[in-house]
Amino acid sequence: MTGPRPLRVALLGCGVVGTQVAKTLLYDQEDLSARVGAPLEIAGIAVRNVHAARDVAIPRELFTEDAEALVDRSDVVVELMGGLEPARSLLLRAIEGGAAVVTANKALLADDGPSLYEAADAAGVDIHGEAAVAGAIPIVRPLRESLAGDDITRVLGIVNGTTNYVLDQMTTQGLELEVALKQAQELGYAEADPTADVEGYDAAAKAAILASLAFHTRVRMKDVSCEGISGVTAEDVEWADRTGYCVKLLAIAERTSEGVSARVHPALVPKDHPLANVRGAFNAVFVEADAAGPLMFYGQGAGGRPTSSAVLGDIVSAGRHRVLGGKGPQESTYAALPVLPQDAAVTRYQVRLEVADRPGGLAEVAGVLGDHGVSIETVSQTAATSGSATLVLTTHAAREASLAATVAAVDGLESVRRIMSVLRVEG
C-alpha cells in the first residue's frame, strides 16, 4: 500500500529567510513530513539570477528563474521575495491553480490583502501570513483563532526590531539617534537604507494587519496614520526617564464606540508596563481582550531563523489541510467598522515647554488647556536659568484633535518661548 503523494513546496525568493526555510525543509524533512502526514519536497526555488552566490547547503539544481512555471507545478507556494509585484501576481496565479499560499509579505497583505483573501476563499485554498508580523512571535494565529471567541479592545505592539534597538540604546547608553542607528546598521539590525523602519512604514503595515485581524474589519496601510522616530532626541529620552517613562515606537490598534483607530508613533510607555521592558531588537505585542484580559506575546521579531519558524509553521498547517482536507480560517470582515482618522484617536500628551520665568506663566498655559477641554494630569517645572524654565505637562486622555489644537494655542502664548517636544503617552 502506497502512502500519500509528496507535497511539492515552491519557494519564491532565497534571501536570509528563504535560505533558512529551504535548509530546514531539506534537512528536517523527516520530522516535518511526519507532522504534515505526507512527504514534503522542494519543487524549486525561484530567484532573479540562478548564477548568484548561494548557500552551498542548497543544491544548485533547485534554483530557477521561471517563477511562473514553478508556481504551476506546486501544491504550496511560499512567497519570501517581498514587494508588491511580481509577488501579488504570482500568489494570485498560485491560488487560481489550487495551491495553498504562505507569505511573509507584510506590505502586500496590508496593501492588497483583501484581493488575495477573496481569491483564496473562492478557490477553497489556504492563505497564511504568520511571518508577516513580528517574526517568530505567534500573533496572527492567536488573534485569528485562539481569541476568535473574545472581544479584543486594544492591541499595542513593538513590531519593529530596528527602532526598538535604536531607542533602547538611546535610553541605556545616552546615544543620539544617528549614532544608535549607525550601530544598528553595523550589527545587521538595520538596512543600509533604514527609511521604512525609522519613518514607521514597516510598523504601519503590521498595524494594518493586526487591526484587521483583531476587529474583523478591513484596515489597509493607507488607513494607518504614521509617524516615525526621526524626530526623537536624546533629550526626549532623558526627560522620559525623569518622568517615569521610556520611549517606544508603538503600533496601536483600538476599537471604540465610534469605530477602529490604527496608528504608529513614538510614545511614552510607563516603566511598569510590560512593553517598557522589551529590550534590544526584540518585539512584543500586548493585547487587551474583554474575557481573556491582558496578554503579551514576546520574542525575536526578525532574522532568518526566527522568521523561518513562523513560515515553517504555516507550511505545516497548509500541508495538513492538503492531506486531511478542509482549509484554515479566512479573512473575517463581518464587523465592517468605520476606520477613524487620526484626529479622532483618544490619547494623552506629554508636552515639554521652555517658558519665561515670570509670575502667571503656568496659569496662562493651564487656562489655554482648559479652554480646549484638556485637563492636566501632572506638571513639573525646573529651576529657572537665564530667565527661562522647563515646564513638563502631562494631560489626561483627550481626542487627538483637541490636544493638537491645544499645543498650537500654547505655542502662541507670550510666556512660551518654544515647544521643546510633544510625545503621546500610551499604555
Burial class from Cβ neighbours inside 10 Å (0-12, 13-18, 19+) for residue 233 reads middle
Give the pLDDT of residue 397: 92
pLDDT digits (tens, 9 = 90+) for 125-149: 999 999 999 888 999 999 999 999 9
pLDDT score of 190 more than 70 = yes
pLDDT tier at 214, thresholds 50, 70, 90: very high
Give the pLDDT of residue 2: 67
Question: pLDDT > 70: what percent of the chain?
Answer: 99
Record the cell numbers describing residue 388, joined without a space. 527661562
Span 2-20, average pLDDT: 91
How far CA 275 is from CA of 82, 231, 237, 267, 297, in Å, comes to 28, 21, 16, 11, 10
Task: Kindly report the average pLDDT of the chain as a whole number.
Answer: 92
206 is catalytic: yes
Span 391-416, average pLDDT: 90
The span from the CA of 121 to the CA of 9, in Å, is: 20
pLDDT tier at 1, thresholds 50, 70, 90: very low
Give the pLDDT of residue 164: 95
CB-CB contact of 245 with 392 (8 Å): no
Helices (H) and strands (E) in the chain, counts: 14, 17
**φ, ψ for residue 295 (rounded to 5)?**
-135, 145
How far CA 254 is from CA of 60, 189, 245, 246, 345, in Å, comes to 48, 29, 21, 21, 9
Q: How many residues does the chain have?
A: 427
CB-CB contact of 11 with 79 (8 Å): no
pLDDT digits (tens, 9 = 90+) for 233-265: 999 999 999 999 999 999 999 999 999 999 999
Closest CA to 79 of 14, 124, 159: 14
The span from the CA of 224 to the CA of 341, in Å, is: 8
The span from the CA of 376 to the CA of 370, in Å, is: 9
pLDDT digits (tens, 9 = 90+) for 34-49: 999 999 999 999 999 9
Q: How many CB atoms lie within 10 A of CB 46?
A: 28
Closest CA to 322 of 91, 128, 117, 112: 128
- Asked, as a colleague might, if the bond just before 4 is cis with ω within 30 of 0, I would say no
Query: Which residue of the set 206, 222, 248, 327 is catalytic?
Result: 206
Question: pLDDT > 90: what percent of the chain?
Answer: 77
pLDDT tier at 191, thresholds 50, 70, 90: confident
**Identity of residue 248:** K
CB-CB contact of 312 with 90 (8 Å): no
Give the pLDDT of residue 380: 85
pLDDT digits (tens, 9 = 90+) for 302-335: 778 889 999 999 999 999 999 988 788 788 899 9
Residues 6+ apart with CB under 8 A from 193: none
Span 72-101, average pLDDT: 96
**Is residue 147 classed as helix, strand or coil in its secondary structure?**
coil
pLDDT digits (tens, 9 = 90+) for 89-119: 999 999 999 999 999 999 999 988 889 999 9
What region does 360 belong to: left with phi over 0, alpha with psi -120 to 50, or beta?
A: left
Question: What would the DSSP string read from start to end of 63-88?
Answer: EES-HHHHHHT-SEEEE-S-SSTTHH
Q: Which CB contacts under 8 angstroms, 24+ apart, belong to 147-150?
A: 147/287, 147/289, 147/292, 148/329, 148/332, 149/291, 150/289, 150/290, 150/291, 150/292
Give the pLDDT of residue 341: 92
